[in-house]
Amino acid sequence: MATIEICKTGEITTGTIVHNIPWNQDGVNLPGIVLSNACDLEHDKAGYIIIAGLVEAKTTLLDSNEYKNLNITPRTDLSSRDKQKLKRFYEDYIYNKGITRYYLIYPNKSLEASMPAMLVDFQHLTSIPSNESNRLRILAELKSPFREEMMQHFTSYTSRVPVPREESSAIFPLLTDYTL
């Protein structure tokens, strides 16, 4: 099931994928997805529209430290072990497991030729005044319930509380009699 489809309403709301975003960085021309609450936008209660950047999923995942840590050498015939590691790596993103800075979205068949699978990047945010929304070009929209899931993912990501981490080896003796 695809999560992105052609925008039926032509209105900007939560989950609308837009272009022509003023990212305030030279040369940056990323599309983005609206994170502002739909009810605030609908009732003109949003002074600003919050937008997260979208990055191409395939390239971003291959460049990630998590992928590099798999230590898989590019080749056509992967071992069963490497296939399993790779499958788990991609499934974590496909099913949006864990709280990471990204949320995977992908197009339906009619959009595949013009839109790749993308990651919503919760660290690449901007906002524009609501009265400047006419400068945005609508590309597509994220379907429900994926729109709501993305927002839950975003709020979980931004509400994390940083805590100091103990070395796991110091805690193992409290949990098990085995030497780990």
CATH number reported for the structural domain that contains residue 116 in this entry: 2.30.30.110
For residue range 127-156, list pLDDT tens digits in order: 999 999 999 999 999 999 999 999 999 999
Residue 91 belongs to a domain: yes
Rounded (5°) CA angle 145-105-60: 155
177 or 131, higher pLDDT: 131
Quick: pLDDT tens for 108-121.
888 888 889 999 99
Q: How many domains, in total, are found in the chain?
A: 1
Quickly list DSSP for 93-137: HHTT-S--SEEEE-B-TTTTTT---EEEEEEEEEEEEGGGGGG-E
Q: Indicate whether 5 pLDDT > 60.
A: yes
Look at residue 119 and tell me if it is in a domain: yes
Inter-residue contact 140 to 5 (CB < 8 Å): yes
**Is 127 within 8 Å of 50 (Cβ atoms)?**
yes
Domain range spanning residue 38? 4-175
Whether 43 is covered by a domain: the verdict is yes
Question: Residue 35: inside a domain, yes or no?
Answer: yes
Q: Are 33 and 54 in contact (CB under 8 A)?
A: yes
**Domain annotation covers residue 180:** no
Rounded CA separation 11/9 (Å):
5
4-5 and 48-56 strand pairing: unpaired
Within a domain: 15: yes
Give pTM, 2 decimals.
0.84
Contact 45, 107 (CB under 8 A): no
Does a structural domain hold residue 132? yes
Q: Is 134 exposed, middle or buried (0-12, 13-18, 19+ CB in 10 A)?
A: exposed
Quick one: which of 51, 40, 57 has its CA closest to 3? 57
Tell me whether residue 154 is in a domain: yes
